[in-house]
Amino acid sequence: MLLPIVLITSFAVSSVFGCPDHTGSQRGQLSPLHTKRQAANPNRGQGNNNGNNSSEPEEEEEKVIDWSYDASYDWGAIKPAYATCQTGTQQSPIGLSLANGSSPVYQPTFANYDRNVTGEWTNWNYGPQFTLDVPDDDYTSLPAMQFNNMTVYLSGWHTHAPSEHTVDGDRTRAEMHLVHVDANGDPAAVLGILLDPGTTPFAFLAQLPPYIPFTYGPSPRPVIDPATGEPAKAEVVEGVQMNMALALEGVDNVNNFWTYKGSLTTPPCSEGLRWFVAQTIAYTSVEQMQALLGVSTFSARVLQEVWQHDVNSA
């Protein structure tokens, strides 16, 4: 059951969703790997570097987005901090193939996915996004995924349209990324679920609250709130509950999958993440896919060449 508690619009466009001071089609969205703790500690979200993070709280700093999907082939040239987008050896996404077979290693298992979780529901300006509440900043209390003697915790999910990964050269209409972090809240693994329209509804999508539209239009121009004449503010619904086990059930609990060493698919493209992509496609109804695409904009990074990714290898 969905329990939206309150609709807030306190994130001003000029701050958290600040429009970048550039031309082109950049949007002032947060990276989809953004978590609530990252808002307090902007050093997070740089991949699983196992570095020491200060325990002292830090003030939230303004996020300026200076990249766009229109030029994802050249993110590394924007600034030195994005150099890994060009020079990295394990960049995501990649093209996958049925010829790879199902991975014989890193079989994931899941714990506590079969209970409702509560969090924030919004749109990262490219599609729906859900961020789990983290009681007492204890990430180990969240639903867990285990593989190769490692445990990571679900921090949230978001969608891309079309899919970022391809299978034998083909893309699905959308892809959902279930982002998992380590006990410190640093991104560690991502489970990709490919979405395509079919004939019956996808139970996971059926439980969702009404979609929140993206707040930025084409180019850098924001949507104008007719009531105020000012740029529209990003909407966030707090207290939303959902059952994440329904996502796993839609892909046969990830019994068949690809896995590889990869990276964030947005700048700074940090590496050190373990990627899983379910081989079973989660099919939606036509109406569900239309609704999803209606609140999405193009968000597929150009495919990266397979290099040191060790696809389906230990």
pLDDT tens series, the chain, 314 aa: 444 433 333 333 332 222 323 223 344 444 565 445 443 333 344 455 444 444 444 444 445 678 999 999 999 999 999 999 999 999 999 999 999 999 999 999 999 999 999 999 999 989 999 999 999 999 999 999 999 999 999 999 999 999 999 999 999 999 999 999 999 999 999 999 999 999 999 999 999 999 999 886 544 455 666 777 766 666 899 999 999 999 999 999 999 999 999 999 999 999 999 999 999 999 999 999 999 999 999 999 999 999 999 999 98
The residues near 163 (Cβ < 8 Å, ≥ 6 apart) are 171, 172, 173, 174, 175, 192, 194, 195, 300
Return the pLDDT at 262.
98
The structure's pTM equals 0.81
Q: Is 309 left (phi over 0), alpha (psi -120 to 50) or beta?
A: alpha
Return the pLDDT at 45.
43
Beta bridge partners of 197: 284
Stretch (H or E) spanning 249: helix 245-249
**SS3 for 180?**
strand
CA distance 270 to 292: 28
Closest CA to 192 of 145, 258, 130, 285: 258
Token code pair at residue 120 = 């924030």
For the beta carbon of residue 103, count every other beta carbon within 10 angstroms.
Answer: 20
CA distance 262 to 252: 23
- What would the DSSP string read from start to end of 55-69? SS------------G
For 218, half-sphere exposure in the C-beta direction (CA atoms, 13 angstrom radius) is: 0
Return the pLDDT at 66.
86
Return the pLDDT at 226.
73
